[in-house]
């Protein structure tokens, strides 16, 4: 059964949970997308210039369009919104549709993180309740746990920032881990040359400007750099910890104990409470519920909870719902303060 055939029932159900229906702009400023997702994302969007030369694009993502609307309306209250419509994105796979029909729902501006995460999960599950499918999987992850891990392990600051920044690019991230294992970004010969330059510059005028920076600023950065080199063995140990963490995959009820056992084994000061995840049952209706430490690398704007629901219809596995928490997205789009947000989108295309 096509999910779009049930869209009216699903919308009615979501609105009954207190979500207000809103209309989203179909056209948004391209820089909102490119600045948030990077220039590489430009090749996926349908863009054009208006009569004033401003670059606009068809919305490639309903979540971003919703957050822009919230930002432009300058509201300070909590919003629970639901919307539907099309997202337009180029694809290099002929089987993938260019126009994606979706229903989305979000809670924006609320500080009740755990309560709101649970509400989004429950609303997602309720939206599936009348569909005829054989079985399915709800996969949960949490990007926040990975960030906490990076901050707790003994690793140079430059590597911590690098791994966190490229967590979303899985292949490149794996390449970084290989480089970390050999410390290949540090050339011992260059380090020795840098140390000699550093000693020489210490005797010069610290207020002297070079390329817009004072000598003191350059030396501070220099000092950090020459103290960073580490033995390859330490890099291998850190890489091993990260790889082992990302392999954790288990029924959701076992997730807190699995994670805590892992952190204890490596003497990492993190503890996950039994109620940390918004759902604790391994089974809900026809869905098996699992935790995956590596899940959540599809979109860079996720900051905490991430989840997806796949169902099996006949012999096909179909992704019907994706969602998560994105507390930095609205500030990245221009807000002067951090505004919490969590939501989900239903795919109506299958």
Specify whether 215 is located in the same domain as 137. no
Pull the structure tokens for residue 223. Answer: 């000092």
For tokens 């260019």, name the residue: 98
Domain closes at, from 195, 216, 241: 241
Specify whether 99 is located in the same domain as 213. no
Domain closes at, from 223, 241, 259: 241
Rounded to whole angstroms, how far apart are CA atoms 120 and 308? 12
Specify whether 145 is located in the same domain as 158. no
Specify whether 53 is located in the same domain as 123. yes
Rounded to whole angstroms, how far apart are CA atoms 226 and 176? 20
Specify whether 25 is located in the same domain as 116. yes
Q: pTM of the entire structure?
A: 0.81
Rounded to whole angstroms, how far apart are CA atoms 340 and 111? 7
Range of 237's domain?
151-241
Residues in the chain: 350
By CB atoms closer than 10 A (0-12, 13-18, 19+), residue 312 is middle
Which helix (H) or strand (E) segment is 320 a member of?
strand 316-325
Domain closes at, from 193, 216, 241: 241
**What pLDDT score does 113 carry?**
95
CA–CA distance from 97 to each of 12, 88, 92, 93, 297 (Å)?
A: 26, 9, 10, 9, 22
Specify whether 138 is located in the same domain as 279. yes
Specify whether 41 is located in the same domain as 143. yes
Rounded to whole angstroms, how far apart are CA atoms 74 and 126? 31
Specify whether 97 is located in the same domain as 211. no
Specify whether 9 is located in the same domain as 118. yes
Specify whether 209 is located in the same domain as 252. no
Specify whether 232 is located in the same domain as 121. no
Ranges of the chain whose pLDDT falls below 50: 1, 187, 229
Specify whether 165 is located in the same domain as 220. yes
CA–CA distance from 64 to each of 204, 238, 243, 245 (Å)?
A: 50, 35, 31, 30
**What pLDDT score does 1 carry?**
46
The 10 Å Cβ neighbour count of residue 86 is 17
CA–CA distance from 182 to each of 157, 158, 246, 249 (Å)?
A: 17, 15, 20, 28
The 10 Å Cβ neighbour count of residue 291 is 24
Tens digit of each residue's pLDDT (9 = 90 or more) over 27-54: 998 887 777 666 667 888 899 999 999 9
Q: Report the CATH number that the domain containing residue 119 is assigned in CATH.
A: 3.30.930.10
| Count of domains forming the chain | 2
Q: Helix, strand, or coil here: 57?
A: strand
Eight-state DSSP code of residue 19: P
Rounded to whole angstroms, how far apart are CA atoms 162 and 301? 16
């Amino acid at each position: 059964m096509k999910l779009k055939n049930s869209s009216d029932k699903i919308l009615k159900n979501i609105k009954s949970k207190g979500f207000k229906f809103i209309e989203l702009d179909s056209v948004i400023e391209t820089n909102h997308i490119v600045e948030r997702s990077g220039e590489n994302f430009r090749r996926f969007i349908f863009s054009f210039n208006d009569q004033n030369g401003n670059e606009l694009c068809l919305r490639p993502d309903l979540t971003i369009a919703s957050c822009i609307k919230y930002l432009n309306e300058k509201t300070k209250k909590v919003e629970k919104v639901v919307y539907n419509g099309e997202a337009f994105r180029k694809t290099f796979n002929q089987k993938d549709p260019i126009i994606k029909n979706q229903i989305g729902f979000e809670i924006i501006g609320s500080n009740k993180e755990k309560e709101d995460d649970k509400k989004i999960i429950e609303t997602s599950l309720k939206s599936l309740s009348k569909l005829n499918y054989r079985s399915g999987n709800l996969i949960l992850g949490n990007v926040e746990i990975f960030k906490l891990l990076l901050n707790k392990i003994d690793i140079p600051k430059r590597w911590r920032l690098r791994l966190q920044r490229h967590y979303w690019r899985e292949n490149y991230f794996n390449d970084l881990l290989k480089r970390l294992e050999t410390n290949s970004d540090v050339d011992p010969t260059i380090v020795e040359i840098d140390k000699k330059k550093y000693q020489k510059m210490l005797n010069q005028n610290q207020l002297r400007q070079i390329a817009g920076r004072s000598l003191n600023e350059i030396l501070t950065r220099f000092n950090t750099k020459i103290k960073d080199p580490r033995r390859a063995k330490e890099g291998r140990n850190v890489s091993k910890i990260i790889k082992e963490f990302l392999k954790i995959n288990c029924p959701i009820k076992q997730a807190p104990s699995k994670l805590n056992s892992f952190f204890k084994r490596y003497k990492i000061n993190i503890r996950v409470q039994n109620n940390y995840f918004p759902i604790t049952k391994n089974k809900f209706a026809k869905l098996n519920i699992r935790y995956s430490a590596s899940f959540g690398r599809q979109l860079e704007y996720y900051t905490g909870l991430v989840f997806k629901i796949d169902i099996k219809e006949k012999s096909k596995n179909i992704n019907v719902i994706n969602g998560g928490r994105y507390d930095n997205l609205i500030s990245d789009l221009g807000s002067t303060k951090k505004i919490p947000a969590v939501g989900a989108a239903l795919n109506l295309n299958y």
